Structure 1
């Protein structure tokens, strides 16, 4: 008779290690890390254009919302041909309203080259809080300086 019992009815110890629970735990940890790894990005997600790149062709007719910062630090919203000056606290409300009406509207940032980097980053975080998932940066093509 084979098995874990001998003739006297007593159990003898098993010499095998059961690795199935270990494999289950490792699979669960793998899934958890696969889900949480993309969430570890810090900062604002932007798609930086290159000066030598070709213009982006949009497949649909959605006009982008362009938020500009001039050299004096004033904000402007351009939608189509209409450009209006906007206060910083009103900027978030207006962009939120546009994005809620048309969620697929691209939002682009145009910053003057003499504007402080911190002000552009503040503008981008304001746009992110307003519900914009991706913010693009606009640059003029030109020579490398």
Structure 2
């Protein structure tokens, strides 16, 4: 019997907004449905978020043409407001999201365990595209 060590992939973005705003937009189900996609032909029609240790989140991600879709979800293992969110996805992979404020900007760093189906590059590009979409949304969103 052999144990395979999972590869970790990290993506990051510097968001031109204070950490309180970034945190709210990252964790609010209504906002998640507006930014959680890797490309313009996908969307997230629904999301739930019970942001606490042991709490569950779900997002329904679908192609806008209805050709395919999937549920993305997991359970939180650590939540420190404005600092860190850690969770285990439904497929048992671990994810860590760090928030650090620097000069009224917020650096968001996501590290996740790679899955075995798609290439590391494809996974990194997909997660980075979603994070870039979040950055664009957060910087354009007024108020908060």
Q: Same fold judged by TM-score > 0.5? A: no
Higher gyration radius (CA): 1
- Normalising to structure 1: TM-score of the pair? 0.26
Higher share in strand: 2
TM-score (norm 2): 0.26
